[in-house]
Amino acid sequence: MWSTEQYEKFKSERQQPFFDLLALVEKRPRMRLVDLGCGTGELTRELHTALSADETIGIDDSETMLLKAGSFGGDALRFEKGNIEAFVAERPFDLIFSNAAFHWVPDHIELFARLTKFLAIDGQLAVQMPANDSHPSHQVAAQVAHEFGIEARPDFVLPVERYAQLLHRLGYKKQHVRLQVYGHVLSSAGDVVEWVRGALLTHYQSLLSPERFEHYLAAYREQLRAVLGDERPYFYTYKRVLIWGTF
């Protein structure tokens, strides 16, 4: 259900957390990287170039995203179809990177433990995840889903301090874990609908027929307007967890 056009309507706003996460990564010579949930591949290319990596692999399970990602590939940068839950590596990576993907994956305790096994000595793990389920944009989506007889999207993201504890237990020598609030000035509160259509609402779209999803979307828009009003411009707060560690 992913639409690259819809997702990139707020392209610059969605990119800032990537660059904040990248700033945490220690650049080292001849790095081998994997970007889990690489999306369109544009930021994977930024990652590859910024770190002057020897090899970078982008992994995503969306054919739509990978079609666009192919244009960013080259000899040392390639893209493959794959699932984060099933990801395995035959050779260790110097960096396992993921920007805005792990919130779709269950059981983070098991996930982080498994991925850590694929790191080289002194390897790094860098993860950024949305953690905005307490915002009305997400709560109203879940409420409308209940009215339509479908399940709300599960919230797999742990409390931020749990990630610091988890990295410590897994043996990471250094770590940086923080919750950051990003503020986005949108032209109106109604633009929040367009924002979440690019990501959150794809979950509900996948559970409904096209006709029922249009009804869902109309109900969501109406109920969200009742909560947010018609403020212009609208300051949309969006919480994200940034995690980095050296193993």
What are 187-243's pLDDT values in tens digits?
999 999 999 999 999 999 999 999 999 999 999 999 999 999 999 999 999 999 999
Residue 75: predicted pLDDT: 84
How far is it, in rounded angstroms, from Cα 17 to Cα 21? 6
pLDDT band for position 116 (cuts 50, 70, 90): very high
56 within 8 A of 50, measured Cβ to Cβ:
no
Which sign, positive or negative, has the C-alpha torsion 102, 8, 200, 206? negative
Residue 67: predicted pLDDT: 84
CA-based nearest residue to 111, from 123, 221, 101, 77? 101
How far is it, in rounded angstroms, from Cα 122 to Cα 116? 11
Token duo for residue 114: 């498994």
φ and ψ of 97, to 5 deg: -120, 140
pTM for this prediction: 0.93
Element containing residue 63 per DSSP (H, E): helix 63-69
Q: What number of residues does the chain have?
A: 247
Residue 174's DSSP bridge partners are: 246
CA-based nearest residue to 203, from 155, 160, 166? 155
**Could you report the per-residue pLDDT of 120-176, keeping only the tens digit for each?**
999 999 999 999 999 999 999 999 999 999 999 999 999 999 999 999 999 999 999
CA-based nearest residue to 205, from 24, 19, 64, 38? 64
**Could you report the per-residue pLDDT of 147-161, keeping only the tens digit for each?**
999 999 999 999 999
Residue 163: predicted pLDDT: 98
Q: What is the mean pLDDT of residues 4-24?
A: 80
| Domains within the chain, CATH numbers bracketed | 4-246 (3.40.50.150)
The alpha carbon of 79 is separated from its chain's Cα centroid by a whole number of angstroms, namely 17
Per-chain mean pLDDT for the chain: 94
215 within 8 A of 150, measured Cβ to Cβ:
no
pLDDT at 16 > cutoff 70: yes
Pairing label, strands 77-81, 119-130:
unpaired
pLDDT at 2 > cutoff 90: no
162 Cβ neighbours under 8 A, 6+ residues apart = none
